[in-house]
Structure 1
Amino acid sequence: MITENDSELNQWLEMLRSPELSDRLVAVKNLQYLGDEEATNALLLALSDESIAVQKIAISALWEIGNPVAIPAFIECLGSADADIRQEALSALNELVLPTDLRQLLEALHRDNVNIQLNILTLLRKIHDAQSLPDILPFFASDVPELRATAVTTLSYLNQVEKCPQALALISDTDLNVRRATALSLGHLTDPEVISILCQALKSDPDWQVRRNAAKSLAIHAECAAILALEAAVSDEHWQVRKFALQALQKIPDERVMPALIRALADEYSDVRKEAAIALGNLSNPAAMPALQQSLDDPDKEVTIFSQKAIQKIQTLLQNSQNG
């Protein structure tokens, strides 16, 4: 028995086959409004339409329905020549894929399509599975810089991956974005060479974003072996490098860097001055009191607040030592 819904569905299916774009747009929009799983097969058919507009509506409708049967079709869309189609499909897959879809994603990763590979590498970050690592490693040597950068970023999302010697060399990559991504990812690894590699990048990489990312990663590691490199970075030419070097030094208070911290209280950027005040508070050395008291007149309210907090920390420490 043909129901009213079946009749309506057949009507839109027929219109999807029309040579007229206007007919196909009407059909796919009505299938979107229909919005039930019975429309899924028709919408999957619409994903192959020659019109980008029809494809976009079909992706949105299938995304709303949320049936995982659409996952293989969405993976195909990741290879589209249209950037909006790729982005829409990626967003839908990011909600639909589950750890049980890992094998399907890894199979697609080996397709000879850079757009599919880039997007699958991004999707693997949601699953976090270390089983992906052998499939990701070959992309570190890809001829496509964007693939190298995307792969090394995905590395940092994988659970329980602490060492990856193949990633270390990417800190010297010729491509800026690869080095930037590597500098961040190395913050999540425990290879013995990581600290010295990050320190070298912090000191000598010509790109300020690489240096900033190296400082961010050194803050994660909080290793005393990085203190001298971080102290030098407090005088870096770019304020963001100075800021994140100070954040790292907050985690590893060391008397040797106090002069650099005091100089940073006079930095032209308030963000840097604030981080210097916090670092001096963590250091809690009474010798920093005069500089911190001067900072109470800073034109930036946050700087004055954190300078006051630093002074209070030092005063509390002094009182406790006197009482003890």
Structure 2
Amino acid sequence: MEETNGQANREELDQLLRDLAEGDETTRKYAAEDLGYGGYLEAIPNLIQGLVDPSISVAETCVSALVRLGTSQVAEMVAQCLSSEDVRLRNYAVEILSLLGTTAIEVLETQLQSEDRDVRKFSVDILLEIGSDRSLEPLIIALDDTDINIAATAADGIGKVGREEHLAVLRKYLDSEVWMKCAVIRGMGCIGGPEAVEAILPSLRDEDMMVKISAIQSLGYICNISALSGLLYLLGDESLSLFGGETINAIFGIMQAYPDENYGEIINEALLVPILSLAEKAESQIRLQAIEILLYFGFESVVGRLVNLTADPKTTIVEAAVRSIIAIDPSDITPFQEILSESSTASITQKAASLRILGGLSSQKGQGLLIDFLDPAGEELTCTALQALPTGFSPLPLEKLKALFQSEVSKVREYAAETMGRLGAEDFCECLIAQLGDEDPDVQEQVDNALIEIGTANENSLIRPYLDAISPMERKMAFQYYGSHHPERISEKFINGLQDVNEDIRIIAIKVLGNLSLLTFKMIHDALKDTDENVCIQAARSLGTFPRSQSLVEQITQVLTQSDDERIKVELLQILSELGDLDVINSVLPLLEDESTWVQIEAVEALKILGDVSVVPILKKLLDSDNDELVETIENAIEELEY
């Protein structure tokens, strides 16, 4: 029986080999695929021959089949193709050996002894592609290759797959020629750690520029603070212009990684000069990094040069300079006073930068200058001065800000409102309320936002009762109708407003009285009889502002039994669902039989939220409803209640 099976397998193999050699494209492709899946090691030479098939599709199927066979025998035979003159065959060989992974490593190690330089280079590249711990031993062997490119590739590769214990191996090659030395430094940089920093630091003083730059870049990659002193030393190098960008980039990366260090104690102030030069003249990204580095050092002596950068045509440079000056926080504001003086020829951009800086400094000496620029006739600088006014500014420039609402420039009025909101003082409310009628809708919106900010920040603000559930239009109407008084002091006017002929005023009165906790059940019941449906809805909704009590539940239940309005019932069900700590189930259950499917669904949702599993049998009785949405809601509620 075994002999019969063996004969059948042999016949199948022979047929597949014939198909691979003689069939049409589709037949050849399927034959290669079956040889791989069948595990036919005898077919390895045939599949390798298939790598040069005229059809790319067939050749790639042969690649997959050889990888699927996956034995060291495949690796040995495929490795012979690395010396082929056929580029496609060679590339397929590299791909197969890479995909074979650790299975191919022993064969590749043997190939490192080849007399063919290309074979050795391909072998190193494949070992790197495999990237296994087992790749390291052959790569270490390749460090001694007579071809500098192969040895250097191995050094780079050990950095990518090696660990700290391999630093000692790489370190032995630091006395090699330049190309190899650069690769060794890069390899150590990839491994990283304090030991790598120690090994690389001496190369910062190497006479060869390539070695020096490799060391700078590797130390920047490691990003360890122990490298900083060596990098800072380079700032005094007379050839800094050749590698200043790399140096600044490395220093910047380390400082970002260690933001809390006191860098002012570890740098000679004289080294600030080359950093300033790079901030002024280098490529944009390096300039930005150099400016931020100055921020970390915090020396006030650099402020003058940074002030000059606020006139730079590049906005990003100006912004970086402003941030750094604010962080340094100079005590001398003379440079900014000069820029902002009437005789100054500084550009609008530089003046605006000075205003922003003055607003950001801890000293209040320059804040008087900000007030001087709050000019209704101004525009850009007025807006900048407004933005620069710091929160907590004192004394409040109330009259100056009020005067800005007389400006013909809508942007100035808008920024004035924004500033009042940000400063958050109750004193601004009256003039903000008066400005709700501004002709510009953007100003109106900003005024309303400012009122909200003030009302939110101040617990007893006259604005606060006009916030919850009240729209901007209603707020504007309320102020126009009731004036800029604290509503609690004129509560009688709001109570009278419940009878106003204007339904919007009646709705506003309900909302404000609710926010003030001055509504009574009688007021609610009276409002529920209103001829305007929206007033009735708001009355029902406002029951949610009452203190949680069983008395509230009774009032809601009474309204539910008397009302025919489905919207009112839905509003009240939502309130009941939030009163789970009270006895509300019996108030909800009758609404499961309501004529409105909407009300039924909301009743089910309320019961689900209340979480009382005892209602499940009642809900199950409703599953024979003809309304699919109701049934789905009930099923979801039952599932959640029983969970």
The normalised TM-score by structure 2 is 0.39
Q: Count the aligned residue pairs.
A: 302
* Residue equivalent to 2:293: 279
* Mapping 1:220-299, distance limit 5 Å: 220=222, 222=225, 223-227=227-231, 229-232=233-236, 235-238=239-242, 241-250=243-252, 251=254, 253=263, 254-256=266-268, 257-299=271-313
Q: Matches of 1:305 and 1:179 in 2, distance apart?
A: 41
CA-to-aligned-CA distance 1:58-89 (integer Å, 9 cap, x gap): 66325545422344444333333344444443
1:266 maps to a residue whose letter is: E
In structure 2, stretches of 5+ residues that fail to align are: 256-262, 331-359, 364-643
- 1:49 alignment counterpart: 49
* Offset at residue 306 of structure 1 (A): 4.1
Change (3 A) 1:84 1:198: farther
Give the counterpart letter for 2:49 in structure 1: D
Measured after TM superposition, the shift of residue 278 of structure 1 is 3.0
Distance 1:149 1:55, change over 3 A: farther
The offset of 1:27, in angstroms, is 6.0
**Where do 1:76-225 residues align within 5 Å?**
76-98=80-102, 102-125=105-128, 126-129=130-133, 132-133=136-137, 135-157=138-160, 158-160=162-164, 161-164=166-169, 165-170=171-176, 172-173=177-178, 176=179, 178-187=180-189, 188=191, 190=195, 194-201=199-206, 204-207=207-210, 210-219=211-220, 220=222, 222=225, 223-225=227-229
- In structure 2, the residue matched to 1:60 is 60
Distance 1:130 1:39 in 2: 26
Q: RMSD value over aligned CA atoms?
A: 4.2
Displacement of 1:261: 0.9
CA contact (8 A) 1:40 1:62 kept: no
Give the C-alpha shift of residue 31 in structure 1.
Answer: 4.5
2:172 is matched by which residue type in structure 1? Q
Distance 1:42 1:111, change over 3 A: same
Q: How far apart, CA to CA, are the structure 1 residues paired with 2:96 and 2:132?
A: 18
Structure with higher Rg: it is 2
Mapped partners of 1:258, 1:319: distance in 2: 24
CA change 1:7–1:103 in 2 (3 A) is: closer
The structure-2 alpha-carbon separation of the partners of 1:35 and 1:103, relative to structure 1 and needing over 3 Å to count, comes to: closer
Comparing both chains, which one has the higher relative contact order based on Cα–Cα distances under 8 Å and sequence gaps of 6 or more? Answer: 1
How far apart, in 2, do the equivalents of 1:281 and 1:104 lie?
Answer: 56
Please give the secondary structure, in 1, of the residue aligned with 2:163. Answer: coil
Q: Distance in 1 between matches of 2:236 and 2:134?
A: 36
Q: Write out per-residue CA displacement over residues 89-146 of structure 1, whole angstroms, 9 at most, x where no aligned residue.
A: 3344434414x6644543443444433322332333343527834x434433332122
Contact 1:109–1:117 at 8 Å: present in 2 too?
Answer: yes
Q: Which runs of 5+ in 1 are unaligned?
A: none
Secondary structure of the structure 2 residue equivalent to 1:266: helix
Secondary structure at 1:212's aligned position in 2? helix
Q: TM-score, normalised by structure 1?
A: 0.71
Quote the Cα distance in structure 2 between the aligned partners of 1:44 and 1:206: 51
Deviations, residues 38-68 of structure 1 (Å, cap 9, x unaligned): 3875873345439845597666325545422
The CA distance in 1 between the partners of 2:148 and 2:24, in whole Å, is 39
1:145-177 deviation per Cα after TM superposition (whole angstroms, max 9, x unaligned): 22121121122121232322322112x34xx4x
Deviation string, structure 1 residues 270-321 (Cα, Å, up to 9, x no partner)? 132122123223323333333334334444455445444434543499859x
| Cα distance in 1 for residues equivalent to 2:199 and 2:115 | 33
- The one-letter code of the counterpart of 1:245 is T
Q: Which amino acid aligns with 1:255?
A: I
CA spacing shift, 1:167–1:7, aligned 2, 3 Å: same
1:233 Cα deviation after fit: 5.7
Partner secondary structure for residue 168 of structure 2: coil
Question: Which of residues 14, 17, 32 in structure 2 aligns to 1:13?
Answer: 17
Q: 1:77 to 1:24 in 2, by over 3 A?
A: farther
* CA deviation string 1:206-227 (max 9, x = no partner): 54xx443221112225424513
Is contact 1:17-1:24 (8 Å) kept?
Answer: no
Q: Which amino acid aligns with 1:272?
A: I
Whether the aligned pair in 1 keeps the contact of 2:201 and 2:215 (CA below 8 Å) is no
Residue pair 1:28, 1:46 contacting (<8 A) in 2 also: no
The share of aligned pairs that are identical, in percent, is 16
Distance in 1, matches of 2:99 and 2:310, equals: 49
Compared with structure 1, are the counterparts of its residues 307 and 106 closer, same or farther at alpha carbon in structure 2 (3 Å cutoff)?
A: farther
Shift of 1:269: 1.6
Q: Note closer, same or farther for the CA distance 1:234–1:273 as it changes in structure 2 (3 Å cut).
A: farther
Rounded Cα–Cα distance in structure 2 between residues aligned with 1:181 and 1:55 = 40
- Give per-residue Cα distances to partners, 1:185-230, cap 9 Å, x unaligned: 24246368623432123xx2154xx443221112225424513543
Q: Is the 8 A contact 1:25 1:54 kept in 2?
A: no
Equivalent positions of 1:16-31 (< 5 A) are 16-17=20-21, 28-29=28-29, 31=31
Instruction: Give the Cα–Cα distance (whole angstroms) in 2 for the partners of residues 272 and 280 of structure 1.
Output: 12
Partner Cα distance (2:311, 2:11) in 1: 77
Higher deviation after alignment, 229-238 or 112-121: 229-238
